[in-house]
C-alpha cells in the first residue's frame, strides 16, 4: 500500500507540473529566464496584487513523524485521507518578497482505519514570492497555528496512548508548503502542503506528534 500511494502522489505531481510547463505561453518581456521575485511577477502594469485565496486540498495520512513525512516519495502512506478547503488572506508586505497573512480551513478525515471526523484549523502564514523559471513561479510558504478535531484518527489514538494522558483534540498546526503558478493562468496555483498536527513537545494536550498528511491542492487567487 505504501508503494501504491507513493506512486499515486508521484504521478499527480509529475502530471500537474508537466501540464503547466508544456502549455505554450510567451515569457514576460525584458525578464530574465530565472530569478527570485520580490513582487508578483505575473501582474500586468497597473494591476493590484491579489489578497485573497481559496484552496481545495486532499491527500493521504502517513505513519511517519514530521521529518519522515516531508520525504514525499518515501513516506509510509496509509489508506486514510483528509479532504478540505482553506481560505487565506494577505495582510502585510514584509519586503524582500515576503508577505504576511492568515489562513483558516475545515476538512473531513476518513479512511480504512479511521472513523470519519472533522477538523478546523487557523494560523498565520508567511509566504515568499518565489523563484521564477520561464513562465513558472515556484513559491514557498509556511503556516503556524492551531487545529481542533471532532475525533482522533487511529494514528493519533496510538500516540495519545503512548503519552499516557495525551489528548489530540486540540493541537498546534504547522503547514510547510510549495506552490507553482503558470503565467498563462496567474490566478491558479497547484500546491503541496504537509498538514502537520503537533503537541509541540507537550505544550498542547500533553502530546508530541499528532498526525501528518501530504496534501495536493488547487488554489484560486482573487
pLDDT for 54-106, tens place per residue?
999 999 999 999 999 999 999 999 999 999 999 999 999 999 999 999 999 99
Give mean pLDDT, residues 174-199.
98
Question: Where are the domains positioned within the chain?
Answer: 2-221
Give the distance between the most distant pair of CA atoms in the chain: 61
User: CB of 53 within 8 A of CB of 222?
Assistant: yes
Evaluate if residue 29 carries a pLDDT over 90. Answer: no
Q: What residues have CB less than 8 Å from 97, skipping those under 6 apart?
A: 36, 37, 38, 39, 128, 129, 130
Give yes or no for residue 193 having a pLDDT over 60: yes
Distance from C-alpha of 179 to C-alpha of 96, rounded to nearest angstrom:
18
Report residue 15's pLDDT band, with 50, 70 and 90 as the boundaries: very low
Report d(CA 204, CA 147) in Å as an integer.
Answer: 10
Where is pLDDT greater, at 58 or 13? 58
Beta bridge partners of 128: 98
| Cα–Cα distance for residue pair 138/178, rounded to 1 Å | 7
Evaluate if residue 173 carries a pLDDT over 50: yes
Query: CATH class for domain 2-221?
Result: mainly beta
Backbone angles phi, psi at 163, to 5 degrees: -85, -5
Residue 6 has pLDDT above 60, yes or no: no
Average pLDDT, the chain: 90
User: Is residue 5's pLDDT more than 80?
Assistant: no
**pLDDT score, position 31:** 79
- Decide: 144 and 173 in contact? Cβ < 8 Å: yes
For 118, what's the count of Cα atoms within 13 Å in the CB-facing half-sphere?
A: 4
| Reported confidence tier of residue 30, pLDDT bands at 50, 70, 90 | confident
Q: What's the predicted TM-score (pTM) here? A: 0.85
Amino acid at each position: 500500500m505504501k508503494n501504491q500511494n507513493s506512486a499515486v502522489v508521484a504521478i499527480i505531481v509529475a502530471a500537474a507540473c508537466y501540464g503547466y510547463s508544456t502549455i505554450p505561453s510567451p515569457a514576460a518581456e525584458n525578464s530574465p529566464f530565472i530569478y527570485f521575485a520580490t513582487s508578483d511577477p505575473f501582474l500586468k502594469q497597473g494591476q493590484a496584487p491579489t489578497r485573497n485565496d481559496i484552496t481545495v486540498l486532499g491527500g493521504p495520512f502517513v505513519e511517519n513523524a514530521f521529518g519522515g513525512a516531508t520525504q514525499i516519495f518515501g513516506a509510509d502512506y496509509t489508506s486514510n485521507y483528509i479532504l478540505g478547503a482553506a481560505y487565506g488572506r494577505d495582510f502585510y508586505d514584509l519586503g524582500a518578497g515576503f508577505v504576511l497573512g492568515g489562513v483558516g480551513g475545515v476538512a473531513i478525515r476518513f479512511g480504512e482505519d479511521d472513523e470519519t471526523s472533522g477538523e478546523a484549523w487557523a494560523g498565520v502564514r508567511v509566504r515568499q514570492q518565489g523563484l521564477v523559471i520561464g513562465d513558472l513561479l515556484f513559491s514557498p510558504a509556511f503556516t503556524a497555528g492551531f487545529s481542533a478535531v471532532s475525533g482522533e484518527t487511529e494514528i493519533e489514538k496510538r500516540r495519545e496512548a503512548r503519552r499516557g494522558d495525551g489528548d489530540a483534540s486540540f493541537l498546534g498546526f504547522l503547514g510547510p508548503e510549495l506552490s507553482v503558478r503558470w503565467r498563462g493562468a496567474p490566478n491558479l496555483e497547484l500546491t503541496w502542503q504537509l498538514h502537520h498536527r503537533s503537541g509541540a513537545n507537550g505544550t498542547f494536550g500533553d502530546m508530541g506528534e499528532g498526525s501528518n498528511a501530504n496534501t495536493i491542492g488547487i488554489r484560486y487567487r482573487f
